[in-house]
Amino acid sequence: MSAGVSPPPTHVVVFLHSGDYDRVHQGLSIAAAAVASGRKAEVYLFWWALERFLHGTLDEPDFLGRDDVTNRFESRGMPTLRALLAHLTDSGLFTLAGCTGSLGALGAEARADASGIALWLGWSAILQRTAGVTDRFYL
């Protein structure tokens, strides 16, 4: 690499706060694009996005009031949240983490072990893990 040229970023971080299907889909799609190019991707779940994963509502698109979009989504065979998550997990380049503060605020601690989310962190640890990452997305 020549002088003055920065190495390519090594990973992408996505912070998912909203549980809206389109936002979660967008976040997982960003992560999927990253792993497809050989980069690591970390997705952090907060509040309503975390709640969607805890409830397991990853299969059926639910674009409220937009049946046209739901029908188009399904007819084009676009991947569900669960399919994207499986692809990401299989890549070996993906980390899914849940926020302990959001878990507590939702009163959902009893669901943590069965959630499939292996990594639970608070903001201090999240900030340490993501320090210096320039490719961050907040949805």
Q: Which tens digits make up the pLDDT trace of 58-105?
A: 988 888 888 888 778 877 888 999 999 999 999 999 999 999 999 999
Helical pair 21-36 and 81-91, crossing angle rounded to 10 deg = 30
Confidence category of residue 8, pLDDT binned at 50, 70, 90: low
Q: Which long-range contacts (CB under 8 A, 24 or more apart) does 111-120 make?
A: 111/54, 112/54, 115/53, 115/54, 116/53, 117/45, 117/53, 119/95
**120-137: average pLDDT:** 95
Helical pair 21-36 and 47-55, crossing angle rounded to 10 deg = 90
Superfamily designation of domain 22-138? DsrEFH-like (3.40.1260.10)
Total-model pTM: 0.90
Q: Please count the other Cβ atoms lying within 10 Å of the Cβ belonging to residue 56.
A: 13
**45-50: average pLDDT:** 98
- φ/ψ of 89, rounded to 5, equals -60, -45
131: its two tokens: 């320090």
> What are the extents of the domains in the chain?
22-138
Task: Give the distance, in angstroms, between the CA of residue 45 and the centroid of all CA atoms in the same chain.
Answer: 7
